[in-house]
Amino acid sequence: MKAQLYDLTGKAKGEIELPKIFSTPLREDVIAKLVEVERFESKQPFSLAPTAGRRHSASGTISHRRHEWKGHYGKGISRVPRKTMWRRGTQFYWIAAEVSGTRGGRRVHCPTLSHAPKKINKKEALFALNSAIASTSNSLAIKKRYSSLANKELKIKFPIVIESKLENVKSKDFISALKMLLGDLFPLALKHKEVRAGKGKQRGRKYKSNAGILLITSNSEKIKLSGIDVIPLNELSVSDLYPAGRITMFTEKAMHELGGKK
């Protein structure tokens, strides 16, 4: 199984042998399972302090029996726990505390840290990553991911492999090469950031953007390009390729390193 190798101007330079990873069968269910695990592990744990809302001297309930010490017989107040602000003989100024309906009281139904961790077997996780990488060469998976390509014929063969001379290339020159290389697919290649419509603007998600093209480099390459995602091979995760079929470009060195992986 071979792929086309392109130079920095977007012209075909030759062919390169694809690693065995690209023959891995596509299993979207296993990929989704690993994505769920990765998202769970990346979450910031959040819960309240164990003593939050419980740092008062108030405890128990107020007695309404006759002649009871610190009781409130005949006062007409509820039996919620109260903290003493001042006392003058048998007269008390109390404020309700501790319980959830009071000022500074404990929170009701607060988030807890007692969540069962999501796990996946090591071999299953490796298979999911290989399957996600292989999906970048699957034209059916690419058409399924991008709805605008559903009824179009892909003129370029995937995966896209470019020669490893990108370290000193400017973003402007790389984008012009992408235009020549991708043709009709170029609008999907660059990230487009826009203000979200609706109430999401008020809820911490003001902007939304598309994924754009992903450039996978070798571990030794240091490439900085604006407008696209650039990820070295040792930092690649399934979440970067999910859903399966993302338009992806590999450097020549990255392909050789992938060939060394099992």
| Average pLDDT rounded to a whole number, residues 163-171 | 89
Q: Which CATH class is domain 2-45+119-259?
A: alpha beta
252: nearest Cα among 169, 129, 164, 175: 164
Tens digits of residue pLDDT in 47-75 = 888 899 999 888 788 888 998 887 888 88
| Average pLDDT rounded to a whole number, residues 147-168 | 89
Tens digits of residue pLDDT in 10-55 = 888 899 999 999 999 999 999 999 999 999 988 888 888 889 999 9
Angle at 135 between CA 133 and CA 138, to 5 degrees: 140
| Average pLDDT rounded to a whole number, residues 151-161 | 89
* Predicted TM-score of the model (pTM): 0.79
Tens digits of residue pLDDT in 123-133 = 999 999 999 99
Residue spans per domain, the chain: 2-45+119-259, 48-110
C-alpha to C-alpha distance for 192 and 208, rounded to whole angstroms: 8
5: nearest Cα among 230, 133, 181, 227: 181
pLDDT at residue 200 is higher than 90 = yes
| Average pLDDT rounded to a whole number, residues 104-133 | 91
Tens digits of residue pLDDT in 211-247 = 999 999 999 999 988 889 999 999 999 999 999 999 9
Peptide bond into 243 cis (omega under 30): yes
Q: Model confidence at 262, in pLDDT bands (50, 70, 90)?
A: very low
Could you tell me the two tokens for 225? 């390009």
Other beta carbons within 10 Å of 110: 12
Q: What percent of the chain has pLDDT over 90?
A: 59
Partner residues linked to 212 by β-bridges: none
Which residue is listed with tokens 């299953």?
Answer: 124
Q: Give the sign of the dihedral formed by CA 123, CA 230, CA 4, CA 29.
A: positive
Q: How do beta strands 229-232 and 214-217 pair?
A: parallel
Task: Please tell me the predicted confidence (pLDDT) of residue 151.
Answer: 85
With left for phi above 0 and alpha for psi between -120 and 50, is residue 204 left, alpha or beta? left
